[in-house]
Amino acid sequence: MARFVPLVEVRVDASEIDRLARGVGELAAASRDKATVRAINHVGNKGFTAVRRATARQAGLKVGDAGKAMRKELASTSAPIYRIIGRGAHLPAFKFGGRQTRRGASAAPWKKRRVFPGTFVARMGTGHVGIFRRTGSKRLPVRELWGPSIPVEMIRDDAKTTFERLVDSELLPRLGHELAREVDRIKAKYGL
């Protein structure tokens, strides 16, 4: 007697597998992008604090005064760029501990106290106090003395190198940390 072997037919719809694979790929890319943005923002925020401090120290200001002229724009998945933006013009020299002496006004812009001969401290009608120098042979006109500018100071010398050093040393380890965190999250979500 001949044995009858039942024929089993299995059909697989490859389009479903492809769709699942695309979905997993998109999830992986989205997770990678989110982890990258989190790493950039974490290191960027640390850099923002370091740049504020270095700029203030370099210019001879209080950190809070330097911080008022700076703001940050966080990175996003659509624009993975962290920006530190400085605004404002040169600050009045009087802002740097200006005071009147017999030889002229004294101030410490760029952390160096100097006496500016032939200058004087005056309060304008608007309430603004500044250090002025006469530019004509008579009482008027006068010209105000200015100190550093936050946008200029934050991209030179110590402030610039502080940020670059921080990014070089901390961005890649932080990116590794964020990617590992994202992998752990996906494993927990899908029970892997």
Report residue 112 CA to chain centroid gap: 27
Name which residue leads in pLDDT, 183 or 159.
159
142 burial level (CB within 10 Å; 0-12, 13-18, 19+)? middle
- For residue 140, what pLDDT band results from cuts at 50, 70 and 90? confident
| DSSP secondary structure code for residue 110 in this structure | G
pLDDT at 129 over 90: yes
Position 188 confidence tier, pLDDT thresholds 50, 70, 90? confident
Inform me whether the pLDDT recorded for 30 exceeds 90: no
pLDDT at 190 over 70: no
Beta bridge partners of 72: 84
Helix (H, G, I), strand (E, B) or coil at 65: helix
The C-alpha atoms of residue 29 and residue 23 are separated, in whole angstroms, by 10
So what's the pLDDT on residue 31? 77
- Distance, in Å, from the CA atom of 92 to the CA atom of 164, rounded to the nearest integer, reads 29
The residue-averaged pLDDT of 125-143 equals 91
When pLDDT is cut at 50, 70 and 90, the band that residue 189 belongs to is confident
- Domain chopping of the chain, boundaries: 18-87+151-190, 93-147
pTM (2 d.p.): 0.77
